[in-house]
Structure 1
Amino acid sequence: MTIDRRSMILAGAATAIAGAVRAQTPPPVAARAVSHGLVEPVETIDLWPDGAPGVPAVPLVETVNERSTDPQLSDRAVFGISRPRMAVFRPDRPNGAAVLVTPGGGYRWVVIDKEGYEIARWLSARGFTVFVLFYRLPGEGWAAGADVALADAQRAMRLIRHRASDFGVDPLRVAAMGFSAGGHVCADLAARFAAPVYAPIDRFDALSARPMLAAPVYPVVSMVDGIAHAGSRLHLLGPGPSAALVAAHSPDRNVPADAPPHFLLHAEDDEVVPVENSLLLRAALRARGVPVETHLFQHGGHGFGLRKAIGKPVEAWPELFRDWAATMGLG
């Protein structure tokens, strides 16, 4: 077999990529083996090469709980995340756009399947390169406190842009999508992408963390008592937060004039996170002149993602997002 120079270069590149993948922290793994037949991600990117800053006094043990009793349908959630990282979903035919996905979990844990891998597979099948972020949880003792998930989201956006050429991605075409408490991470990133919530550690931190588009889905937004999701507020801010702390972590109170366009989605019968969260964010965006696409569905409840939307009108939401994103230049 003849090996030309091009083949040697490609082989060397493949070896380098494989080595880089091995050097990263693997995706969260449950004690019970996954048997649903879907491909699990193997490529990850650690956010902090020398370890995440401001480590808790008590060491964390990363733990994955499998909440499903159906062997064909995983519903995993992870907590104790000490090495925040992204799981990468590469499309067969990249369209040059990327999406950073922040799953929900009430800031108690980070959901893996329902609001992470499932939407990542859907998006990657349509050409998007997807990065599912396993962010640190603010109630687990990190020095950054309520800003710890935002710090991870900012760092993730900057790393995606830094490595854009590795994934065939246009660094200007990187969107953010988040669900529930992960929707708060998404909305907070879209509002405070330039906030100095961590000390720069390398030249990549000079890159912008502003997403091209933001899609908070049934998001936690307001931290105001009576509107906020009580669990998310408690884990994010602790008991009895001050008015200043509430305002600082309510994205609707912090929308800048240069916020990215938003896609908002909520069910009006959401019994966990009131629809007022999305309505407050929409009003704030409109007041600042920021483009916003809003879809409210009569039925859907909370946490529908993809699997719980089947058979309902809200099932149309991923295509609604994709169509809107295409008009904005993402797709």
Structure 2
Amino acid sequence: MTIDRRSFMAASLVSAVTAGKVAAQTPPPFVAGGALPPGLPQPSETIDLWPRGAPGMRAKPPVEMVQERSTDALVTDRAVAGIVRPRMAVFRPDRPNGAAVLITPGGGYRWVVVDKEGYEMGRWLAARGFTAFVLFYRLPGDGWAAGPDVALADAQRATRLIRHRARDYAIDPERVSAMGFSAGGHVCADLATRFAASVYEGIDAADRLSAKPHSAAPIYPVVSMTAPDAHAGSREMLVGKTASPALEATHSPHLNVPANAPPFFLLHAEDDESVPVNNTLLLRAALKEKKVRVETHLFECGGHGFGLRKAIGKPVEVWPDLWRAWARTTGLAL
């Protein structure tokens, strides 16, 4: 991947000069009065994506709400909707390996899950030396001016901000990867195929940096916006029930793969009843056609939304180690 080094050095200089002047950041989503499981690290640091507020807000902005869906006091399963201040929750490793991973959790574009596909993966990555950034992206159904591109705008901006602040986190700006789950897998695949799309106006030095991830790992991803492969809920929230074929194509990553797309790691369970496995197969075929490097793992059982916790005790539980081994071959994990 090619990075504009002059732009990066200029951005790093600005970052160093202004490091002590950053405004207070929005806290990560939380449930008021909610108890957290003991012993699990929680993010103590967040990065707001848009210092002067997210662009394209409607006259009456949505209200951020966090719902706790777990009934087990030792396991949280929060979901956040109405995101007005998109931000990243940061998980810093004790010994950084120089690589960063932007995590985009799922939620069907109705909400963004916090724990199962966000914080749990952030902790796993940080324990292995990766600096993890869990992205709470805006949702297309909330009336933002960018419409179906609003989550992509946040993912592009997040990738650029990570590079902009690489020095602060001991990160190599060339080694900023992406990983996403379900609808967040769509965000990940969209970022890795439409990283060069102009979906927002730049606001600072960070926006002169590349939004192309080093590599991408869409896990059981939503890909196609066309029946019968489309996940109906995600499609409705992203492009609407009556979307034209042209609009469907614009937001189907397998139809937008450029020749210079980054390497992909794909993973899906064949018994997924929510997002058909053909979503991953369509993306794999498109990547192969463009001669883009891709590794694909299909599991007989696993269902949908297994993340880490629901994979335990099944063959699919090995998937994070498969990703890590593959990441070494790409130069992400040295």
- Mark yes or no: TM-score above 0.5: yes
Structure 1 equivalent of residue 3 of structure 2: none
Match among 118, 127, 130 for residue 128 of structure 1: 130
Residue in 2 aligned with 1:297? 299
Task: Show the counterpart of 1:8.
Answer: none
Equivalent residues in 2 for 1:1-331 (5 A)?
Answer: 20=22, 23-37=24-38, 38-331=40-333
Deviation at 1:32, TM superposition (A): 4.2
CA distance in 1, matches of 2:208, 2:256: 22
| Conserved? CA contact 2:41–2:123, under 8 Å | no
Q: Is the 8 A contact 1:187 1:216 kept in 2?
A: yes
Specify the code of the residue in structure 1 equivalent to 2:48.
D
SS for the counterpart of 2:168 is helix
Per-residue CA deviation, residues 117-147 of structure 1 (Å, 9 max, x unaligned), is 0000000000000000000000000000000
* Equivalent residues of 2:139, 2:150 under 8 A apart: yes
Using the alignment, how far apart are the partners of 1:227 and 1:58 within structure 2?
34
Give the aligned residue type for 2:315: P
Amino acid at match of 2:173: P
Task: Find runs of 4+ consecutive structure 1 residues off by over 3 angstroms.
Answer: 16-20
Q: For residue 182 of structure 1, what is the amino acid of its counterpart?
A: G
Task: Output the CA distance in 2 between the equivalents of 1:300 and 1:34.
Answer: 30
Q: Percent identity?
A: 71
Amino acid at match of 1:30: V
The TM-score, its normalising length taken from structure 1, stands at 0.94
The answer as to whether partners of 2:81 and 2:110 remain within 8 angstroms in 1 is yes
* SS across alignment from 2:89: strand
Structure 1 portions without partners, runs of 5+? 1-15
2:43 counterpart SS class: coil
| 1:160, distance to aligned residue in structure 2 (A) | 0.2
2:11 corresponds in structure 1 to: none
- Distance in 2, matches of 1:46 and 1:206, equals 18
The normalised TM-score by structure 2 is 0.93
Equivalenced residues, count: 316
Q: Is the 8 A contact 1:267 1:301 kept in 2?
A: yes
Q: 1:17 deviation in Å?
A: 6.6
- Are the equivalent residues in 1 in contact too, given 2:180–2:187 (CA < 8 A)? yes
Q: Greater relative contact order: 1 or 2 (C-alpha under 8 angstroms, separation 6 or more)?
A: 2
Q: Aligned letter for 2:224?
A: S
